[in-house]
Amino acid sequence: MSLARLNIANFRNILSASLQPESGLNLIYGENGSGKTSILEAIYFLGMGRSFRSHLSQRVINIEQDNLTLFAQLEMQTGEAKLGLRRFRNGEIDVKLDGDKVKRLSVLAETLPIQVITPESFSLLFEGPKARRQFIDWGAFHSDASFYQAWVNTRRILKQRNQLLRDGSSYSTIQFWDKELVRYAEQVTSIRNQYVDSLNELLKGIIGEFLPRVDIKVSFTRGWDSKTDFAELLETQYHRDLSSGNTGSGPHKADLRLRVGNLPVQDALSRGQLKLLVCALRIAQGKLLQEQQNKHSIYLVDDLPSELDAQHRQLLLKQLTETGAQIFVTAIDPVAIVDSLASPPSKMFHVEHGQVTVVE
């Protein structure tokens, strides 16, 4: 999987750009505010239907325009594919794959799997379990075709159950929904657990390369006591849930626990080590996708030199290039990246005031 062509129109300060990246490492450099990160953001938007920098998708549309347009020609195992997306300021979105209208945004993620490593990637470790659940669910979605619908059903039932709790409904009324919730929750949890087990096998080796003297334990917590039957728990916690108006335990509380000894990694590692750990998680996830589905992720790496010394930059770039995946790396100074590579970048782009040029 790789991008053979990328067209961007009205995306932040990029009014019009057309790139023909290579399948290897593509280096994008320019001053802060030039638009280099916007290229990564546009690729992510095309693969996810949203931004990794803002929850408000309207903000990525150029301030003077009514809509943005993204188009990519993809090189896939099955041949070429064409993916296009148009996002309007009123919230409407139009997506086409090989000319056919796409109704579910999950098709984007399935078609264009993306791994992002940015300075904000620390949210995976610092901002509570939501980001870590999303990390697990990205892998579960790609590893098991039944996961997506099971998780959609779980969230639908949780929403209905929480509304009944807020309405003060009796448990006999809620029990009907609990039976369905238990069924889908167990399916979701089983897929998540299997995925994390598979990920751990790859992760150990990569963490060993990045942090050889640190013993990091990674485990999955399902969102309720592993020794307690979920159906029984929902019944015994009914009065507590009724008071809060929300379901207190379940797959929506699942987490990925990372520890050094008895300490969370956030308390045991330096910022540089934490960044390497996040990189290891993303690389392992991409490698597992390749093993399980014979499909490469596309790696988007923003501001790679920050907080990493030359030795660790070199190690990270080596690990990334060894995946065989297409990589987009941004930097203010290209020398910091070029000097860390065993061979020159496959292609280099310079960005200035939203204008993108190829550097020979």
Q: Binding site residues, as ranges?
A: 30-37
- Binding-site residue ranges for ATP: 30-37
What is the widest separation between alpha-carbon atoms in the chain? 71
User: How far apart (Å, rounded) are the C-alpha atoms in residues 268 and 209?
Assistant: 18
Please state, in angstroms and rounded to a whole number, the distance separating the CA atoms of residues 117 and 323. Answer: 15
Task: Give all strands (DSSP E) within the chain, no chain letters.
Answer: 2-11, 14-19, 25-29, 67-76, 79-88, 93-97, 100-101, 114-117, 216-221, 255-260, 263-264, 298-301, 326-331, 347-352, 355-359
Output the CA torsion sign for 205, 207, 212, 214: negative
Partners of 72 in beta bridges: 6, 83
* Measured distance CA(223)–CA(248) in Å, rounded: 9
Length of the chain: 360
Task: Give CA torsion, residues 48, 295, 329, 84, to 10 deg.
Answer: -40
Radius of gyration of the chain from Cα atoms?
22
